[in-house]
Amino acid sequence: MLSSKLSILLGGSTGERVLFLCPNDASYVITIWAIWMAGQIAVPLSPLHPEQLLEYYIKDANSRLMVSSLEFAKTLHSLSRKSGIQQHLLEEDLLLRAKTHKSVDPNPDPLSKEFYQSSDALILYTSGTTGNPKGVVLTHRNINVQLKMHIEAWKWSASDMILHTLPLHHVHGTLYALFCPLFVGASIIMLPKFNAALAWSYLLNRKQEVEGKVSVFMAVPTIFSKLIEEFDLNLSSSSELVKEFLSSHMRLMVSGSAPLPEPVFERWLAISGYKLLERYGMTEIGMALTNDYDSDREPGFVGMPLPSVSVALADPDTKEIVFKCANQSGKFLVENTAQDQDQDPTGELLVKGESVFREYFNKPQETLKEFTEQGWFITGDIAQYSIEKRNFKMLGRKSADIIKSGGYKISALQIETLLLAHPGIKECTVLGVPDQTYGERVAAVLVFNKEPPESLAALKEWCGGKMPKYWVPTVWKVVENIPKNALGKVNKRELRNQLFNKSLES
């Protein structure tokens, strides 16, 4: 039993951080459950990340053990050699044995319910506005509260079948697209990697090996854009059949992790007959706002607080609260203290509730800075409450240093740090530019040294070895100088307006 092996490898102790690297399949589920059964804290890693970043996670999590499936054995051995971390490779027949055995031997020494009620469960790494990624610590209680809220709000049941295409080192793919269906006993089809044509074949029930029909689909806006492109290329001649099938079999389709462009919302409605459900959340708070399952939806609005969640809008600088909204047993309690009662209140979104994370791992001062004196978590996002529609709308990130692209939150400052390590780059600034497919694209503004890079193609190749693929800029501008203020700071919003148009084709 894997959990027993992990306990032995860790000398019988509990509360250890166990890193693991698995593909998007059942091995991920088996591994994370084994880690929890052994009383440890799961730290999922992504195969999209380069070794340099994985090394940082190992060091930051202060982990003694890393688990990997066979396809990532080379990476595991390399990391073990460099960091000294103990390694454990999953057995080749793990999935086969899991499929053929209806039950497993019980843990000879199961941990108590009290242990799980008070212990940490999961560390998910997310980039902040400055510095290195921080490990967000979620407790078993955090996760349990979030799952129960969403199962009720989105009416999950054992009869559901979800098509899973999301990364498993973020809350979207992990908590909501994976744990929710597992909690209720629903069926899950997991794609190791997103492929638009393959996804359509599952959505339209064209895979004979699958018993039943997909009823739930969750994705980031980029995925919906890719599905629309595939539809236009290969399915538009059957548009009426596609719409009829999806309208009759899909009960829930959710877009999240990044703002959904209105053209994508409207086009998907035309194709599927379904209005995508938008919601708002982040690693530290889980999901805080959601559109109602049964109500009509408008593009751009992300809904109201989930049960037991309170939100507030505050002045971004003073943190003075001008608006509060709480969900108490399905009833929304609203308190508007803004000076202009007729104007839709706007401010930085603050969140309270049992779903809010415990801490950034081993970073007490950084944790403290992210909360107000009254215990509100500061999201860094600007939101507006529509008095007429009784619904929240997200207006954007307070900081220009976080780029939301394809469902990922990307730190511009980290990319700048890596780019400045190139000998041919004298100065650089990285920012997000609008893009209908990805929400934003990563753009780099560069000032070259006297001996510049051989070519932009060579620079892109260099970047590929230093950072995750989705960090590599896709838009480049070479300039004589980057304007700065008296304090030496770059006004990124102003620079973006000067250099880039809203519609980019580069």
Tens-digit pLDDT profile for residues 419-472: 988 999 988 999 999 998 899 999 999 999 888 888 889 999 999 999 999 999
Q: Are 262 and 326 in the same domain?
A: no
Section 155-179 average pLDDT: 95
Q: Are 270 and 284 in the same domain?
A: no
Report the 10 Å Cβ neighbour count for 438.
24
Secondary structure element (H or E) that encloses residue 335, with its range: strand 331-336
End-of-domain residue from the set 397, 423, 448: 397
CB of 90 closer than 8 Å to CB of 68: yes
Question: In the Cβ-directed half-sphere of 343, how many Cα atoms lie within 13 Å?
Answer: 8
Section 311-324 average pLDDT: 93
Measured distance CA(460)–CA(476) in Å, rounded = 10
Which pLDDT band, with edges at 50, 70 and 90, does 107 fall under? low
Beta strands, E only, 399-473: 402-405, 408-411, 425-435, 439-448
Q: Are 353 and 451 in the same domain?
A: no
The burial of 373, by beta-carbon neighbours within 10 Å (0-12 exposed, 13-18 middle, 19 or more buried), is given as exposed
Q: Are 346 and 287 in the same domain?
A: yes
End-of-domain residue from the set 277, 309, 325: 277
What is the dihedral sign for C-alpha 374, 375, 378, 383?
Answer: negative
- Could you tell me the CATH number of the domain that includes residue 99? 3.40.50.980
This prediction has a pTM of 0.82
Domain tally, the chain: 4
Residue 385, strand partner residues: 392
Q: Are 7 and 26 in the same domain?
A: yes
Q: What is the pLDDT at residue 330?
A: 84
Q: Between residues 96 and 137, which one has the greater pLDDT?
A: 137
Which pLDDT band, with edges at 50, 70 and 90, does 251 fall under? very high
Would you say residue 39 lies in a domain?
yes
Measured distance CA(214)–CA(321) in Å, rounded = 43
Q: Does the structure show a pLDDT above 60 at 129?
A: no
CB of 325 closer than 8 Å to CB of 385: yes
Would you say residue 147 lies in a domain?
no
Q: Are 172 and 264 in the same domain?
A: yes
Q: Are 245 and 335 in the same domain?
A: no
Q: Are 265 and 310 in the same domain?
A: no
Would you say residue 18 lies in a domain?
yes
Question: In the Cβ-directed half-sphere of 155, how many Cα atoms lie within 13 Å?
Answer: 8
> Which residue reads 């507006």 in tokens?
384
Q: Are 311 and 385 in the same domain?
A: yes
Would you say residue 118 lies in a domain?
no
Q: Does the structure show a pLDDT above 80 at 132?
A: no
Would you say residue 137 lies in a domain?
no
Q: What is the CA radius of gyration of the chain?
A: 23
Measured distance CA(229)–CA(255) in Å, rounded = 17
Would you say residue 135 lies in a domain?
no
Q: What's the CA angle centered on 50, arms 47 and 52, to 5 degrees?
A: 135
Amino acid identity of residue 480, one-letter, is: E
Structure tokens at 414: 């980290």
Tens-digit pLDDT profile for residues 20-68: 999 999 999 999 999 999 999 999 998 888 888 899 999 999 999 999 9
Give the range of the structural domain holding residue 365, as residue numbers without chain letter.
279-397
Measured distance CA(333)–CA(310) in Å, rounded = 9
End-of-domain residue from the set 256, 277, 298: 277
Q: Are 383 and 419 in the same domain?
A: no
